[in-house]
Amino acid sequence: MIDPASSDAAPLVELRSLDTLWFQVGGTVCNLACTHCFVSCSPTNHTHEFLRLDEIRGYLDEGAALGVREYYFTGGEPFLNPEMEAILEATLRVGPANVLTNGLLLDPGRCRRLRELDDASDYSLDLRVSMDGYEAAANDPIRGEGTFERILQGVRNLVHAGLNPVITVTEVHDDNGTVRGKERFFQLLRELGIAKPRLKILPVFQIGAEVERGGAYASWQRLRSGDAPVDGWDHLQCSTCRMVTDQGVWVCPILVNEPGGKMGEALADTLDPFALDHPACWTCHVYGVSCKT
């Protein structure tokens, strides 16, 4: 048992409200194997498998009854899941959807269909495309040879279909998140014909494949009860989210490779507080991370 009174114990975060429900719809299967991937995804990583539409329907119903505000889809690569478009169609009937994709499978036909799904719903469909540098020389060593050009092609196809993605960048390079770095990304997006560029910068989680690339956490990088800010832990996304994978419901999109992050089978099993005893929680706290758009 963790004693919340001890300042050395991991603090507990309450689930304030279940606002954001994540689906690891692509499992840990990805057509890339990025060197910084904190879930260590790859073409052969089946730690978590694809989620099926019928499984997702059950969670959509349960989520709606609990008052979920928005749904996020990630992986691995969501569009490897053969049911992905049907899943989005079902989701957009009950709420807004966000898809985190590497952009490689965004061919013109798919982009057109995504546009149709968007047009048919009152709710927003937000696509987030990941990129790790504003030029191939910075992106490709992380995401793989030739990926920069392929990502750009996916973005162009989205733009052509009238969809405006949020480009998601990690701070894997020092200048990605600086004012100058952001300006370079905005410039690149304008060159692709995006008049209203949208950008989201995320820090790197030092877990998964990233350990080998950038190094693991140091032992001091842990949260203790004494670290609690005056407003409590409400700034952490796990105070308002849960993550569904084919192996059940987990606390957040980050800790899916730690069995300790698994909380239950149904959403109702996971409404209790969670102990922040993983070093990744330190990154969430210190950097104020939210994986949300």
Partner 1 sequence: MSNRPPGDDAGKRQRTSTKLTAHRGLATWGERLVPLGEFRDAAAAAGQELSAAARATAAAAHRQPVDDATPIEGPFGRIVAFGGVYNNHFALEALLAEAAGCRAEAIYCLGDLGGFGPNPEKVRPLLEEGGVLGVQGNYEESLATGREDCNCGYTDPRDNEFADLSYRYTADRCSPETRRWLGSWPLRRRVRVGGQELLLVHGSPRRINEFLFASTSPVPFLDVLFDEQRCDGFLCTHTGLPWHRRLPSGRDAVNVGVIGRPPNDGATDVRYALIEAGADGLEVQLRSLAYDHQALAAEMRAEQLPEEFVETILTGWWTTCLEILPAKERAASRF
Shortest CB 7 distance to partner 1, Å: 26
Q: Is 243 in the site for ligand SF4 (CB under 6 A)?
A: no
**Residue among 196 and 220 whose Cβ is closer to partner 1:** 196
238 contact, one of partner 1, ligand SF4, none, CB 5-8 Å limit per kind: ligand SF4
**Residue among 6 and 61 whose Cβ is closer to partner 1:** 61
Instruction: Considering only residues 170 through 209, tell me which ones interact with partner 1, judged by CB under 8 A.
Output: 171-172, 174, 179, 195-196, 198, 200, 203-204, 207-209
Q: Binding pattern to partner 1, positions 249-278, x when CB under 8 A?
A: x-------xxxxxxxxxxxxxxx-------
**Residue among 34 and 163 whose Cβ is closer to ligand SF4:** 34
Please state, in angstroms and rounded to a whole number, the distance separating the CA atoms of residues 255 and 236.
14
Please state, in angstroms and rounded to a whole number, the distance separating the CA atoms of residues 207 and 216.
6
Please state, in angstroms and rounded to a whole number, the distance separating the CA atoms of residues 293 and 286.
19
Distances (CA, A) of 222 to 139, 231, 250: 30, 19, 20
Instruction: Considering only residues 20 through 49, tell me which ones interact with ligand SF4, judged by CB under 6 A.
Output: 30, 32-34, 37, 39, 41
Instruction: Considering only residues 119 through 138, tell me which ones interact with ligand SF4, judged by CB under 6 A.
Output: 130
**Residue among 68 and 155 whose Cβ is closer to partner 1:** 68
**Residue among 5 and 180 whose Cβ is closer to partner 1:** 180
Tokens 């987030």 correspond to what residue?
128
Instruction: Considering only residues 111 through 150, tell me which ones interact with partner 1, judged by CB under 8 A.
Output: 118, 122-127, 141, 144-145
Q: Binding pattern to partner 1, positions 205-244, x when CB under 8 A?
A: --xxx-xxxxxx----------------------------
**Residue among 119 and 219 whose Cβ is closer to ligand SF4:** 219
208 contact, one of partner 1, ligand SF4, none, CB 5-8 Å limit per kind: partner 1
Residues in touch with ligand SF4 (CB under 6 A): 30, 32-34, 37, 39, 41, 75-77, 102, 130, 236-238, 251-252, 254-255, 274, 276, 278, 280-281, 284
